[in-house]
Amino acid sequence: MTFLTWRAIYNRLSTDEKLAKLGINIILGCHCCAASNENNNLETVNHIFCQGEHARRVWCEITCTLGVRLTHSSLKILILNWWNTVTKNPIGNFIIQALPSIICWEIWKARCSNKFDAINPSVYKTKANILFTIVKITKKKFGKANIVESWRNIHYILDAEIHYRTTTIVKWIKPPNMSVKLNNDGSCIQDRCDGDDQKLIGNLLFAYYINLGPGTSNIAEMAALLYGLKWCVNRGFSKIWIETDSMLLTRCIERDWDERLVIQFKMPEN
């Protein structure tokens, strides 16, 4: 489908206009128009895909349903207008990007059916084929999306504010036997600190957060670490492995400093 669209945009299809330029005798007539005043036109790419009777009706009915801006000046401008349409979610963006190629494919199929099999083009059939295809490939792309085969549902998807979420697997290294791991990695969220303790087998022992008020991420990291250490010591854990993403905190614990640096903060009583 995309290859056909590319060939249509760059005028690389074997239309009557192209065949006539090669010296092949062509009977004047359009295979996508039913009106007698248009049947004597020599078919061109723009006429087949956006200016002819069948193409205009297909594009108009779909754009009116979906609320997309329409122009019949040329196929290239028409498709660019589609691709520049702003959507509110990834599924809607996928549909907007895919629809022009599907529409061009079905219009070309209707034209060829009329030319070679004498089957008159049907706007209803073309729209039904377009809807079936866009729903099928969207379901394949977004397997969990609930997409009903109706243009009203497609329009709803384009306007819906769906936040696309991705999941990332986070792995941690187990501490040695009879040890616990204190994980306060990324512990600062605005004015809140949090962390957790985990056993060797990976069970969560304790999760916590501390309200510190305004401050820096380094202070938040240190407060969360100190709170977690106190919690472990008070419960008899002596072998404690610390995991943090703060280089400042790591160097402070390992005493890896070129100069003395003293950081003072008041730990909230709990």
In tens, the pLDDT along 147-169 reads 888 888 888 888 887 666 677 77
Structure-token pair, residue 40: 């004597």
* Contact call for residues 62 and 81 (beta carbons, < 8 A): no
User: What is this structure's pTM?
Assistant: 0.59
More confident residue, 202 or 141: 141
Dihedral angle at the C-alpha atoms of 132, 1, 109, 150, nearest 10 degrees? 20
Q: Is the pLDDT of residue 186 over 60?
A: no
Residues forming a β-bridge with 188? 193
- The arithmetic mean of pLDDT across residues 57-82, rounded, is 83
Q: Which structural domains are found in the chain, ordered by start?
A: 2-159 (no CATH), 180-254 (3.30.420.10)
Tokens representing residue 237 in the block: 């854990």
Q: Which residues pair with 183 in a beta bridge?
A: 196, 243
| 3 state SS of 208 | strand
